[in-house]
């Protein structure tokens, strides 16, 4: 039997657990398909999209740093992908058009927002750390929840300013001012790569935070970043990125197979064993 082919493109990719997740579900739902890693340079994006057009590949996920770079090669950019200018799921539709979707927004909503036990969330002052590939999806999801005050801070100011052009309602806090302004913040969302396994960590101290602060880290490897450990010690509510990761994959799987795969302890255990 010919197996359908799916993959994730990005660079670097070695850390990605998307193959583990999708191959587990392909097996569970008896779909003859295989999901692999395709680490590529920017100039190879067009070739990969052509493979979708000619059905050599049935679908791809896109991760850093190409979520925006793929857009010029697509025939259609759907809903949240259009709003955020960030695409992480691509496939061919029934009209033979290459379509880009964004499932990070859904992942963030299901994996974080809906799990928080924060009261009257619209009133929260939320600080997003980082202005990289996933930040627009986080901002869009927060705005859809009608959160009134969204702040962003990024080491490279220009990138925060670029995001503000897309979402003029956000306010910028300069990277050096984060510690001075942290005491008013109700929720922090780390979308930077600071805290990743083997990587650098924050230089900020985050000393004067509210006692009912909620800290969310988009990182899931390690499951407890330095920041999560530090905040947990101070009895602050923390969340890692594992649920967001699983929910964005769930929606990608649904877009490709019209099956909503179950997220349960079994799949969580399978992922955890790989970390
Ligand atoms: P990209 O920026 O290529 O989309 P990303 O992984 O989505 O990649 O984003 C990386 C994020 O982590 C960025 O916000 C980046 O900040 P810069 O825009 O200043 O590069 C942030 N980041 C990575 N390493 C960092 C470090 N050592 N200190 C502070 N921020 C860092």
Nearest-atom number in ligand 1 for the CA of 131 is 14
Residue 168, classed as helix, strand or coil, is coil
**Structure confidence by residue, pLDDT tens digits, 128-184:** 999 999 999 999 999 999 998 999 999 999 999 999 999 999 999 999 999 999 999
pLDDT higher than threshold 90 for residue 110: yes
pLDDT higher than threshold 70 for residue 47: yes
- Is 132 touching ligand 1 by the criterion CB < 6 Å? yes
Give the Cα separation of 255 and 179 in Å (integer): 41
234 Cβ neighbours under 8 A, 6+ residues apart? 209, 211
Question: What would the mean pLDDT of 12-20 be, rounded to a whole number?
Answer: 91
- Is 145 touching ligand 1 by the criterion CB < 6 Å? no
- Is 57 touching ligand 1 by the criterion CB < 6 Å? no
- Is 116 touching ligand 1 by the criterion CB < 6 Å? no
- For residue 163, count other CB atoms closer than 10 A to its CB: 20
Quote the pLDDT of residue 9.
98
Quote the pLDDT of residue 115.
85
Determine the distance separating the centroid of ligand 1 and the alpha carbon of 159, expressed in angstroms.
10
Question: All domains of the chain, ordered by start, with CATH?
Answer: 4-102+245-272 (3.40.50.10860), 113-240 (3.40.50.720)
Quote the pLDDT of residue 120.
78
Which residue is it, tokens 């991760």?
63
Give the Cα separation of 106 and 14 in Å (integer): 24
> What residues act catalytically?
67
**Structure confidence by residue, pLDDT tens digits, 186-205:** 999 999 999 998 899 999 99
Give the Cα separation of 209 and 74 in Å (integer): 43
Instruction: To the nearest 10°, report the CA torsion of 193, 102, 70, 54.
Output: 130
Quote the pLDDT of residue 75.
98
Q: What pTM was computed for the model? A: 0.96
Phi-psi region of 165 (alpha: psi -120 to 50; beta: other; left: phi over 0): alpha
Q: Token digits for 55?
A: 């059905």
């Amino acid at each position: 039997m010919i197996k359908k082919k799916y993959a994730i493109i990005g660079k670097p990719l070695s850390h990605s657990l998307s193959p583990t997740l999708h191959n587990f579900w392909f097996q569970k739902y008896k779909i003859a398909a295989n999901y692999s890693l395709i680490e590529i340079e920017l100039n190879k994006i067009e070739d990969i999209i052509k493979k979708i057009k000619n059905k050599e590949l049935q679908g791809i996920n896109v991760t850093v740093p190409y979520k925006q770079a793929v857009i010029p090669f697509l025939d259609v950019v759907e809903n949240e992908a259009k709003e955020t200018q960030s695409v992480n799921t691509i496939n061919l539709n029934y009209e033979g058009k290459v379509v880009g979707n964004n499932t990070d927004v859904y992942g963030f909503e299901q994996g974080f927002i809906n799990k928080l036990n924060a009261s009257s969330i619209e009133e929260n002052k939320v600080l997003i750390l980082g202005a990289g590939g996933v930040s627009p999806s986080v901002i869009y999801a927060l705005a859809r929840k009608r959160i009134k005050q969204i702040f962003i801070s990024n080491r490279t100011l220009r990138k925060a300013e670029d995001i503000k052009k897309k979402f003029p309602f956000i306010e910028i806090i300069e990277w050096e001012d984060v510690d001075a302004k942290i005491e008013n913040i109700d929720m922090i969302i780390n979308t930077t790569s600071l805290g990743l396994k083997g990587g650098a960590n924050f230089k900020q101290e985050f000393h004067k935070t509210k006692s009912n602060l909620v800290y969310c880290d988009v990182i899931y490897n390690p499951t407890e970043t330095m920041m999560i450990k530090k905040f947990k010690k101070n009895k602050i509510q923390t969340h890692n990125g594992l649920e967001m990761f699983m929910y964005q994959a769930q929606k990608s799987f649904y877009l490709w197979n019209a099956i909503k795969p179950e997220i349960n302890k079994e799949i969580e255990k399978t992922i955890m064993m790989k970390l």
